[in-house]
A = this chain, B = another copy of it.
Amino acid sequence: MSDSTNRDALGAPGELVPLAARRLGLHTQREDVAIVHRDCSVARSEGLSGRSRVELRANRKRAVARLYQVDNGMVAPDSIGLSESAWHKLRLDEGEGVTLHHARDTGSMRALRGKVYGHRLSQRDASAIFRDIVDGKLSDVQIAAFVAALASHAPERTEITALTHAMVAIGERLSWPGEVVVDKHCVGGLPGNRTTPIVVSIVAAAGLTIPKTSSRAITSPAGTADTVETMTRVDLGVKDMRRVVEQEGGCLVWGGGIDLSPADDLLIRVEHELELDCTSQMVASVLSKKIAAGSTHVLIDVPVGPTAKVRSRADADELAMFMRGVGEAFGLTVRTVMSDGLQPVGDGIGPALEARDVLAVLENDPHAPQELRTRALGLAAAVLEMGGACATGSGIGAATAILDEGRALAKFMAICEAQGGFRRPGIAPFTKVIESERPGHVADIDNRRLARLAKLAGAPQAPTAGVALHVNLGDGISRGQPLLTLHGESRGELDYAIDYYQTNTNLIEVRAK
């Protein structure tokens, strides 16, 4: 029916009366928003007043927007106010004509409903859904139903393959000279687990090609992109990224600037509001980005722990199985390693604090967090072996040599220079040391609440804000011994974090011996 609806929408006389575009300067994060006056005759005569979503057309462009109404002067009856996103999508100038249309029921809704009722998504279904998501034709409510339906039914390899195909087809796709292109990915959920810059430096120093794109934080206090950004530029376009990789063998750029999987980014936003982990979507999301990035060999680090993203060994096994199986379908070699997800890895949680840990390891600083160094070496070793840079079993020796001899640091600095120059991460103006109220030993560390503490302190928006952790699981503790230091860029945020800690003192549980 969508076609006929569209044709009649174009043809109907009422449709042709345009409304004058008004830029509201409204930032709506996700969905486009349009606001008309309650007395807007066009909306009324089209019977759109009661609707919550409408299609807007101008300059041969379309946008589907959530429709609100005002009964005051914010928007005149002959005008339509638009959010920034809609404004840019329609390429408008102030006062230009915008026509209102009934939002069509897109074909993908049929596929989406089919998924709810338990049908497997075909390649065609998956492509239609992601196309409509990227074109803004599906509302957040509809995307949420899709995510929930995916998570409600058992994941299945051919369906995940279809989802992955669809995601890859929509975004940019890169290719690189040479047979082997390696990459690594961490499923995440572990604060401070910032091994990527170290692994990339070691692997690139060994002569392999590793065009690494990373995300900014969505739910965490820092993404790799946020961390690297405290030391160099990360918002490179495809052309600059290519230059850096061709020159240094590796890069550390923000994926958002490359647009490898735009559909995925929209999906993740909604998932975040639902706090749903969906295996199908997680696998398709990770692999689509690796395939689009032109990788041939990918190492996936899966931290497992009760407060990490993957909570049980069984979940990790299932995830690994699908990662490998779907990767195969694309000629992508996937290897997964499970790591201890019980506690944070570095000492710092927050962009600059994690960057300092990374530098300390690269600089072979004796006070560098050993756990971070050990993990990074292990992952680098596995990547070196996967990529054929050294024989099986000799990876750890090679990686350690590259790090100890300062070649990793030199490569990291060279990459930063190529990306726009290196700078040392800053230090927060406000800090507060939190001491243990009792003697004992560290019995438990709650990664999720620790991450929340860092976020309340201002991370990642405030790059130097966060938490510096001074203890590890099992450490013996005396009364008054520093457990962590809160870092904030504003007094208010620091107080806010302190207050949260005081009502959550057991997020680091010190149990009497």
A-side residues, CB < 8 A to B, are 1, 4-5, 7-8, 11-15, 24-30, 33, 35, 38, 45-47, 49-50, 52-53, 68-72, 74, 83, 105, 109, 113, 116-118, 139-149, 151-153, 270, 273-276, 449, 452, 455-456, 458, 461, 490, 492-493, 495-496, 499-500, 502-504
27 A–B pairs (Cβ distance < 8 Å), ordered by A: A1-B452, A1-B504, A4-B504, A8-B503, A12-B500, A13-B492, A25-B72, A26-B35, A27-B68, A28-B68, A29-B68, A45-B490, A45-B492, A45-B493, A46-B492, A47-B455, A47-B458, A52-B273, A116-B152, A117-B152, A142-B144, A144-B144, A145-B148, A145-B276, A148-B152, A152-B152, A152-B153
Across the interface, do B500 and A116 meet the contact criterion of CB distance under 8 Å?
A: no
Q: Work out how many copies of this chain go into the complex.
A: 2
The 9 closest A-B pairs by CB, nearest first: A152-B152, A145-B148, A14-B492, A148-B148, A45-B492, A25-B72, A144-B144, A12-B496, A141-B144
State how many angstroms separate the Cβ of A353 from the closest Cβ of chain B. Answer: 16
Q: How far is the CA of A69 from the CA of B142 in the complex (A)?
A: 24
Q: How far is the CA of A141 from the CA of B146 in the complex (A)?
A: 11
State how many angstroms separate the Cβ of A2 from the closest Cβ of chain B. Answer: 12
Across the interface, do B35 and A275 meet the contact criterion of CB distance under 8 Å?
A: no
State how many angstroms separate the Cβ of A265 from the closest Cβ of chain B. Answer: 15
* Chain B residues with CB below 8 A from A47, complex form: 455-456, 458, 461, 493, 496
**Given known A8-B500, A14-B493, A52-B273, contact A24–B148 (CB-CB < 8 A):** no
Across the interface, do B52 and A499 meet the contact criterion of CB distance under 8 Å?
A: no
* Chain B residues with CB below 8 A from A495, complex form: 12-14
Chain B minimum-CB-distance residue to A103? B273
Across the interface, do A461 and B13 meet the contact criterion of CB distance under 8 Å?
A: no
Chain B minimum-CB-distance residue to A105? B275
Q: How far is the CA of A148 from the CA of B109 in the complex (A)?
A: 13
Across the interface, do A273 and B142 meet the contact criterion of CB distance under 8 Å?
A: yes
* Chain B residues with CB below 8 A from A74, complex form: 24-26, 74
Q: How far is the CA of A7 from the CA of B15 in the complex (A)?
A: 52
* Chain B residues with CB below 8 A from A26, complex form: 35, 68-70, 74
Partner of A273, one of B83, B141, B458, B502: B141
Across the interface, do B27 and A70 meet the contact criterion of CB distance under 8 Å?
A: yes
Partner of A449, one of B1, B145, B456: B1
State how many angstroms separate the Cβ of A460 from the closest Cβ of chain B. Answer: 9
State how many angstroms separate the Cβ of A222 from the closest Cβ of chain B. Answer: 13
* Chain B residues with CB below 8 A from A153, complex form: 152
Q: How far is the CA of A449 from the CA of B461 in the complex (A)?
A: 50
Chain B minimum-CB-distance residue to A29? B52
**Given known A47-B493, A144-B148, A458-B47, contact A30–B52 (CB-CB < 8 A):** yes
Residue of A50, A153, A274, A490 ringed by the most chain B CB atoms within 10 A? A274
